[in-house]
Amino acid sequence: MPAASGVFKQVAIKKETTYGVLPTASGAQLLRRVDAAFNLTKDTYESNEIRADLQAADMRHGINRVTGNLNGELSPGSYAPYLGSLLKRDFTAVAAITGQSITIAAAAGGAFTVSRATGSWLTSGVKVGHVVRLTAGTFNANNLNKNLFVVAVTALALTVLVLNGTTLTAEGPIASATLSLPGKTTFVPTSGHTDDSYAVEEWFSDVPRSETYTGIKFTQAQIQLPPSGPATLGLTVAGQRMGQAAGGTRYFTSPTAQSASGIAASVNGVLRINGATQLAVTGLNFDINANFTGDGVVGSNVVPQQFAGRLRVSGQFTAYFEDGALADAFYNESQIGLQVALTTGSEAAADFLTFSMSRVKLGGADKSDGEGGVVRTFPFTALLNSNGGASAEHEQTTIAIQDSLA
């Protein structure tokens, strides 16, 4: 009898229409993974009877729960639906900004300005932390279709960094120009929150056996950006039930193939902290935790619902001790911003992901000691930016994400 091998396991997922109820068998998506494990756990209760034979006479099963995790290498498009569900807002597109008269000029610190003659970038929906591209107009070829990381926004001017480290050519005004935001964006909204749940199937073709799990909600994301190697994403789930497909066949028929986008690495992209591009950060990681809770009820062996709590974003970064700017932000309890853009390569229009936290407080600034470089560790918490919104340079949120393939 064959034993199951992980390389032959396939993990498929589909959004539920009704919480805890398997959706129809078509239209599922295979997940990319480094590892993924979904399991049924049960509370157990052992009898406390006092007995003359000095032995336990019975043990019972209680509340059923599904626990699980999905760990992968961060790649555009691959995990967007689940990050959107965690943030409680689907990814949505920002409309291309057309018919503009645009001028490009050099700015301080290797940045450039992209200015429009009339209207407002703010009301058009461009935010700090977005990546934009000039996609139409009689621009110099050096300016077209490059990833431009937005670091400041006013009504008429964007200040941008070219993500692959090249330059723009000063020119303009260029008439009938278009500026586009590739992909889609999401953020934690202040109202209108979604409440998504999913069904997951683990299909072991070599056994064969199918195990399905319903009522799956994404409860936490862990993003890790090491100084070398791929950026990684860990997703934690809580679910309601486990089932098995009859006859040793898979439940989800002909699921869509895994995405094929490139993986993001910390060496390709830009990290901005406290309004400055950082070249001394040795690592960055942060967690997004939705704080779901759920309790059992009398007459049922499953938790009937998972209830969302306050969404928290926290993490830490480490950096070589070059000056006191970041430590002073901790000492003075200053509010700073943290934005990071990660690309899948050095091409001008490489696929990308961005994460933007516009109101961050540092919780420490401890120093290392030794013969090597002195490293400071900065734990942080991201907070709601109540000054953000539709006509501001930041979203009114704790964290915002842009995905070029969402």
For 118-138, the pLDDT digits (tens) are: 999 999 999 999 999 999 999
- What is residue 339's predicted lDDT score, i.e. its pLDDT? 97
Same domain, 233 and 165: no
Question: What average pLDDT does range 61-83 have in this prediction?
Answer: 95
Asked if 279 contacts 109 with a C-beta cutoff of 8 angstroms, the reply is no
Same domain, 111 and 222: no
- What is residue 5's predicted lDDT score, i.e. its pLDDT? 87
Which CA distances in Å does 139 have to 50, 172, 176, 311, 346? 86, 8, 10, 43, 21
- What is residue 134's predicted lDDT score, i.e. its pLDDT? 98
Give percent of the chain with pLDDT exceeding 90. 83
> What are 242-245's contacts with CB under 8 Å, separation 24+?
242/40, 242/64, 242/66, 242/211, 242/212, 242/213, 243/22, 243/211, 243/212, 243/213, 243/214, 244/209, 244/210, 244/211, 244/212, 245/201, 245/210, 245/212
- What is residue 260's predicted lDDT score, i.e. its pLDDT? 94
DSSP letter, residue 72: E
- What is residue 281's predicted lDDT score, i.e. its pLDDT? 87
Same domain, 133 and 273: no
Same domain, 321 and 176: no
Radius of gyration of the chain (CA): 24
> Of 147, 181, 215, which residue sits at a domain end?
181
pLDDT (tens digit, 9 = 90+) per residue, 358-370?
Answer: 999 999 999 998 8
Comparing 87-101, 117-131, 282-296, the range with the smallest average pLDDT is 282-296
Asked if 230 contacts 300 with a C-beta cutoff of 8 angstroms, the reply is no
pLDDT (tens digit, 9 = 90+) per residue, 14-26?
Answer: 999 999 999 999 9
- What is residue 377's predicted lDDT score, i.e. its pLDDT? 95
Same domain, 318 and 239: yes
| Residues paired with 180 in a beta bridge | 133
Domain contains 6: no
Domain contains 378: yes
In this prediction, residue 324 has a pLDDT band, given cuts at 50, 70 and 90, of confident
Same domain, 264 and 299: yes
pLDDT at 246 over 80: no
344 CB-near residues (< 8 Å, 6+ apart): 75, 76, 261, 262, 263, 264, 268, 350, 351, 352
Asked if 197 contacts 310 with a C-beta cutoff of 8 angstroms, the reply is no
Please state, as a whole number, how many other Cβ atoms lie within 10 Å of the Cβ of residue 215: 25
Domain contains 209: yes
Same domain, 148 and 125: yes
Domain contains 18: no
> Of 132, 166, 181, which residue sits at a domain end?
181
Which CA distances in Å does 190 have to 89, 119, 177, 384? 10, 27, 33, 9
292 or 153: which leads in pLDDT: 153
The residue range of the domain holding 122 is 97-181
Same domain, 276 and 256: yes
In this prediction, residue 379 has a pLDDT band, given cuts at 50, 70 and 90, of very high
Same domain, 391 and 318: yes
Asked if 330 contacts 304 with a C-beta cutoff of 8 angstroms, the reply is no
In this prediction, residue 295 has a pLDDT band, given cuts at 50, 70 and 90, of confident
Question: What average pLDDT does range 76-95 have in this prediction?
Answer: 97
pLDDT (tens digit, 9 = 90+) per residue, 181-230?
Answer: 999 999 999 999 999 999 999 999 998 999 999 999 999 999 999 988 89
Same domain, 251 and 352: yes
- What is residue 244's predicted lDDT score, i.e. its pLDDT? 80
Domain contains 299: yes
Please state, as a whole number, how many other Cβ atoms lie within 10 Å of the Cβ of residue 100: 24
- What is residue 290's predicted lDDT score, i.e. its pLDDT? 95
- What is residue 6's predicted lDDT score, i.e. its pLDDT? 84
Phi, psi of 119 (to 5 degrees): 80, -160
Same domain, 74 and 105: no
- What is residue 219's predicted lDDT score, i.e. its pLDDT? 96
Asked if 187 contacts 400 with a C-beta cutoff of 8 angstroms, the reply is yes
Same domain, 198 and 120: no
Q: For the chain, what is the domain count?
A: 2
> For the chain, what is the mean pLDDT?
94
Q: Report the alpha-carbon distance of residue 319 to residue 315 in Å, rounded.
A: 14
Domain contains 315: yes
Tell whether pTM > 0.85: yes
Question: What average pLDDT does range 49-70 have in this prediction?
Answer: 94
In this prediction, residue 288 has a pLDDT band, given cuts at 50, 70 and 90, of very high
- What is residue 180's predicted lDDT score, i.e. its pLDDT? 98
- Written as six digits, the tokens of 372 are 């090597």
123 CB-near residues (< 8 Å, 6+ apart): 155, 390, 391
Q: Report the alpha-carbon distance of residue 36 to residue 200 in Å, rounded.
A: 11
160 CB-near residues (< 8 Å, 6+ apart): 111, 112, 113, 114, 132, 148, 149, 150, 151
Question: What average pLDDT does range 299-312 have in this prediction?
Answer: 88
pLDDT at 247 over 90: no
Domain contains 109: yes
> Of 128, 151, 181, which residue sits at a domain end?
181
- What is residue 248's predicted lDDT score, i.e. its pLDDT? 84
In this prediction, residue 302 has a pLDDT band, given cuts at 50, 70 and 90, of confident
Chain-centroid distance, C-alpha 156? 30
Give residue for tokens 């009339």: 118
Q: Report the alpha-carbon distance of residue 232 to residue 342 in Å, rounded.
A: 11
Domain contains 14: no
